[in-house]
């Protein structure tokens, strides 16, 4: 079945019947793009996965209340301001942003979803959004890149991915998306925003389930710094414009649709890890041989979040003792005496002990842009993949003065 | 009762009947001190608290097996090598180190405890320890500073503290100690070593309970980077040389002894936070109004371990949104709408929302060497203190090349 999924050009507008645009409305300094708009030509079914942080942003809460059914026509997103921790005013501003977008697009406010990312605790300036909406509307079209740029905060590149997929029922559907990182990135969402669209026709519960499963092994398997934010949201819109019968949870098309969606979310998730604040390397951690997938995931996350592991990767230092120590720190059950660790394919630890390895060759491996860390626990069938990045002095520089 | 405890000069040798020494045996490069010795003139009762990391160092395991009763005469400690993850050879080397110290001191090997800290997975060179033991022995005396320096790894200063305490029963006892940090520091131990001595006479179970309780609110309330190590140990020796009846769990002296011990461990713990790798500031986080002390501790730790919070403190940025977000990320129950946050006494967040505050004045507060963060949750009687440091580019520099 693998062969019937193919990567294609584009992002959030790759699917039929979706347009996007963006503008610089002035929330960010220096005229950077900060307002994005997604428009669905036909009303879309919407699914969403949201932060597990107990502090939730006002824009997120409004979107959460509008998700789960059909009839969604647009998403308005601002960067530079999180619209979080502002009390009832924040809720009013979230509704206000939806109203501004609705008025511009000629749809009803409740057909609009909103998202915000940026500094916490500063009031969102709706006058700026109002003034910038006309330009975002004028930019609306099949090029999704302006929108992908407008949702960025400290990201250094726009993140877009798309696939086409021929389903068992014979229809060809497209799934595309855009995402932003790049600090506060951790399993269970972080300042992560992801917007996905498809022209497949999908039932609300099937769409929600597919998004949940695809997110678990992609956006929720990425860690940049262990922090999560009040604004993290991944939204998936399905407008059905590819035609054909509705994909339900038990329809034969569901599994391939999920696989195609996962291809898009994993591609975006890896881009987020690679573009982690100050990151110079992508670290792909595979954990195998755990007693369960949950244990494997917990161990992978403990390694991904360890500052000592991440600084060692920054320094191209084959300090596998830190990896082993982070595994031991995961609060998960495993046998220390059966652990093996490979860095870029080179065995550095076996049976929980040091193994003689070629330091120079390993250093060369660790100087590459993408490093595979393989952890074999030797005690069961559980496995998981987790992506992270190294920790560089640049991370500190970026975050020491984020508000300034 | 507070007034009967007083700080005094010295550290691990402040108590009657304890001597210490150290030497440079060659495990560390460049002739740095790396071998420490503590000697008890009278056999001591020993208590210990050890790492919760599932990976445990060989020296730690040997010491753990010898703790809990009396008859301890000495502790030998090396820095520069963790003696961890080396299989049966590591266990043999831990025993070998105890034998070398025993031979030099004229005591039996089982009367010697050992500890190791440094790089994981490299074999400990016993020939170096053997050769260096004579110098450590020759240095043995009432000056504890050489030993305090010899246990350091990336610490920038030696950490010593001591108190005298007049107990309700009329005796005066002394408690002193030394400790080292300064990376992999996190609640539940980290590469933290602490060695405490007292001339009080204490029953084994009372000594263990006192050490456990004092550690919970000091060494286990410090976080530098969220990592823990396989070697973390805190050891307390009581040689009874101050005379008087034995302090038991229900003796009237126990509470004041515990308070005096806690004074020493908290002083050392704060030094560890202040000397965290690359740290420029000590951050003292108090959490009040939680539904339980456990919730308060969990929330304090979540804030202490957040890289985004720590980098903001480095940059003197009053980014309280990150603190609130870290609280929300703690996995603990609280009401987001009743949270208040003060930075250096200045209110920056109330009812979970932004409060207008004097940016310039707050920045000046955040530029000081020690910063108080007060978190008031407004929902119960639970409270806790946690200490951490800021995260600077220097942390990355140190850890990017630790093995080199």
DSSP string, B161-225: EEEEEE-TTS-EEEEEEEEE--SS--TT-SS-EEEEEE-S-B-HHHHHHHHHHHHHTTGGGEESS
Return phi, psi of residue B135, to 5°.
-70, -40
CB–CB of B184 and A399 under 8 A? Answer: no
Whether A186 has a pLDDT exceeding 50, the answer reads no
CB–CB of A395 and B122 under 8 A? Answer: no
CB–CB of A317 and B391 under 8 A? Answer: no
What residues of B are in contact with residue A328 (Cβ under 8 Å)? 53-55, 228, 230
Instruction: Identify the pLDDT of residue A20.
Output: 98
Instruction: Identify the pLDDT of residue A404.
Output: 42
Instruction: Identify the pLDDT of residue B331.
Output: 85
Residues with Cβ within 8 Å of residue B360, at least 6 apart in sequence? none
Q: Identify which of A229, A400, A403 has the shortest CB distance to residue B314.
A: A400
Q: Alpha-carbon distance B122 to A337, whole Å? A: 16
Q: Could you say which architecture CATH assigns to the domain A282-400? A: Roll (3.10)
Return phi, psi of residue A362, to 5°.
-65, -40
The token duo for B90 is 């590591």
Instruction: Identify the pLDDT of residue B14.
Output: 97
Q: Identify which of A54, A351, A396 has the shortest CB distance to residue B393.
A: A396
The token duo for A216 is 């678990």
3-state secondary structure chain A: CHHHEEECCCCCCCCCCEEEEEECCCCCHHHCCCEEEEEEEEEEEEEEEECCCCCCCHHHHHHHHHCCCCCEEEEEEEEEECCCCCCHHHHHHHHHHHHHHHHHHCCCHHHEEEEEEEECCCCCCHHHHHHHHHHHHHCCECCCHHHHHHCCCCCCCCEEEEEEEECCCCCEEEEEEEEECCCCCCCCCCCCEEEEEECCCECHHHHHHHHHHHHHCCHHHEECCCCCCCCCEEEEEECCCCCCCCECCCCCCHHHHHHHHHHHHHHHHHHHHHCCCCCCCEEEEEEEEECCHHHHHHHHHHHHHCHHHHHHHHCCCCCHHHHHHHHHCCCCCCCHHHCEEEECCEEEEECCEECCCCHHHHHHHHCCCEEEEEEECCCCCEEEEEEEECCCHHHHHHHHCCCC
Instruction: Compute the average pLDDT of residues A8-19.
Output: 97
CB–CB of B326 and A227 under 8 A? Answer: yes
Return phi, psi of residue B392, to 5°.
-115, 165
Strand partners, B224: none
Return phi, psi of residue A332, to 5°.
-120, 155
- Torsion over CA of A23, A100, A233 and A167, rounded to 10 degrees? -80
Please give, rounded to a whole number of angstroms, the shortest distance from the CA of A263 to a CA of chain B.
Answer: 28
Q: Which residue is associated with the tokens 């500890």?
A: B115
Give, in degrees to the nearest 5, the angle at Cα A236 between A95 and A252: 145
**Distance between terminal CA atoms of chain B?**
50
Share of chain A above pLDDT 70, in %: 94
Q: Alpha-carbon distance B75 to B55, whole Å? A: 22
Q: Alpha-carbon distance A106 to A101, whole Å? A: 8
Active-site residue, from A154, A191, A267, A295: A191
What residues of B are in contact with residue A85 (Cβ under 8 Å)? 321, 324, 349, 352-354
Q: Which residue is associated with the tokens 């992506």?
A: A387
Nearest CA among A296, A302, A343, A299 for reference residue A319: A343
Q: Alpha-carbon distance B82 to B233, whole Å? A: 12
Instruction: Using CA coordinates, name the residue in chain A closest to B55.
Output: A328
Give, in degrees to the nearest 5, the angle at Cα A254 between A249 and A257: 140
Q: Alpha-carbon distance B351 to A87, whole Å? A: 8
Helix (H) or strand (E) holding B112: strand B112-119
Q: Identify which of B320, B334, B400 has the shortest CB distance to residue A315.
A: B400
| Burial environment of residue B320 by CB neighbours within 10 A (0 to 12, 13 to 18, 19 or more) | buried
Please give, rounded to a whole number of angstroms, the shortest distance from the CA of A123 to a CA of chain B.
Answer: 9
What residues of A are in contact with residue B190 (Cβ under 8 Å)? none
What residues of B are in contact with residue A322 (Cβ under 8 Å)? 120, 227
Neighbours of A170 (CB within 10 A): 8
pLDDT in tens, A365-380: 889 999 999 999 999 9
Top CATH class, A2-272: alpha beta
Nearest CA among B116, B113, B100, B99 for reference residue B57: B116
**Highest mean pLDDT, choosing among A217-226, A329-338, B206-215:** B206-215
Asked whether the beta carbons of B54 and A334 are under 8 A apart, the reply is yes
ipTM: 0.72
Q: Residue ranges per domain, chain B? A: 2-273, 282-400
Mean pLDDT by 10 residues, chain B (404 residues): 80 97 94 96 96 88 92 96 92 98 97 93 95 96 97 91 94 96 49 92 96 92 68 92 95 95 95 85 95 93 88 86 88 91 93 86 88 95 92 77 50
Instruction: Identify the pLDDT of residue B190.
Output: 41
pLDDT in tens, A250-301: 999 999 999 999 999 999 999 988 888 778 899 999 999 999 999 999 999 8
The greatest distance separating any two alpha carbons of chain B, rounded to the nearest whole angstrom, comes to 68
Instruction: Identify the pLDDT of residue B1.
Output: 44
Instruction: Identify the pLDDT of residue A392.
Output: 84
Concerning whether B338 is annotated as a catalytic residue, the answer is no
Residues with Cβ within 8 Å of residue A133, at least 6 apart in sequence? A23, A25, A35, A37, A76, A100, A101, A104
Q: Which residue is associated with the tokens 């990976």?
A: B55
Please give, rounded to a whole number of angstroms, the shortest distance from the CA of B349 to a CA of chain A.
Answer: 9
Label residue A305 by pLDDT band (50, 70, 90). Answer: confident
Task: Calculate the CA A77 to chain-centre distance.
Answer: 15
Helices A293-305/A307-314 angle, 10° precision: 60
The token duo for A51 is 């932060």
Instruction: Identify the pLDDT of residue B223.
Output: 74
Strand partners, A114: A76
Whether A187 has a pLDDT exceeding 70, the answer reads no
Q: Alpha-carbon distance B41 to A298, whole Å? A: 48
Instruction: Identify the pLDDT of residue B182.
Output: 65
Share of chain A above pLDDT 90, in %: 67
Question: What is B2-273's CATH number?
Answer: 3.60.70.12
Give, in degrees to the nearest 5, the angle at Cα A181 between A178 and A184: 150
Q: Alpha-carbon distance A273 to A277, whole Å? A: 9
Quote the pTM value: 0.79
Instruction: Compute the average pLDDT of residues A143-168.
Output: 94
Give, in degrees to the nearest 5, the angle at Cα B250 between B244 and B252: 55
CB–CB of B86 and A353 under 8 A? Answer: yes
Instruction: Compute the average pLDDT of residues A289-316.
Output: 90
Taking one residue from A and the other from B, the number of pairs with CB-CB distance under 8 angstroms is: 196
């Amino acid at each position: 079945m693998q062969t019937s999924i193919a990567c294609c050009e584009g992002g959030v507008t790759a699917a039929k019947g979706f347009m996007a645009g963006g503008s610089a409305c002035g929330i960010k300094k220096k005229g950077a793009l900060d307002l994005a708009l997604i428009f669905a030509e036909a009303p879309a079914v919407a699914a969403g996965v949201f932060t597990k942080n107990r502090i939730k942003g006002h824009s997120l809460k409004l979107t959460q209340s509008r998700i789960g059914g059909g009839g969604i026509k647009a998403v308005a997103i601002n960067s530079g301001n999180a619209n979080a921790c502002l009390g009832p005013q924040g809720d009013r501003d979230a509704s206000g942003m939806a109203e501004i977008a609705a008025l511009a697009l000629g749809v009803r406010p409740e057909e609009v979803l909103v998202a915000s990312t940026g500094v916490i605790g500063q009031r969102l300036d709706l006058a700026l959004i109002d003034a910038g909406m006309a330009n975002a509307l004028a930019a609306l079209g099949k090029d999704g890149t302006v929108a992908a740029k407008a949702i960025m905060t400290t990201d250094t590149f726009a993140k877009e991915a798309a696939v086409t997929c021929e389903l068992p029922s014979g229809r060809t559907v497209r799934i595309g998306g855009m995402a932003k990182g790049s600090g506060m990135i951790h399993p269970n969402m972080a300042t992560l925003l992801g917007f996905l669209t498809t022209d497949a026709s999908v039932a609300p519960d099937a769409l929600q389930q597919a998004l949940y499963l695809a997110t678990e092994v992609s956006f929720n398997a990425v860690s940049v710094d262990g922090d999560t934010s009040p604004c993290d949201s991944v939204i998936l819109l399905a407008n059905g414009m590819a035609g054909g019968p509705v994909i339900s949870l038990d329809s034969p098309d569901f599994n391939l649709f999920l696989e195609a969606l996962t291809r898009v979310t994993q591609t975006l998730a890896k881009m987020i890890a690679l573009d982690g604040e100050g990151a110079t390397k992508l670290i792909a951690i595979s954990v195998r041989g755990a007693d369960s997938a949950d244990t494997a995931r917990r161990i992978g996350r403990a390694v991904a979040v360890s500052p000592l592991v991440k600084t060692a990767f920054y320094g191209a230092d084959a300090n596998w003792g830190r990896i082993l120590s982070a595994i031991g720190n995961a609060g998960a059950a495993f046998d220390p005496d059966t652990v093996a660790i490979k860095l870029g394919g080179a065995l550095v630890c076996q049976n929980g002990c040091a193994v003689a390895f070629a330091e120079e060759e390993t250093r060369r491996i660790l100087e590459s842009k993408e490093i595979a860390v393989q952890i074999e626990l030797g005690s069961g069938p559980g496995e998981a993949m987790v992506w992270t990045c190294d920790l560089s002095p640049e991370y500190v520089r970026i975050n020491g003065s984020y508000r300034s």
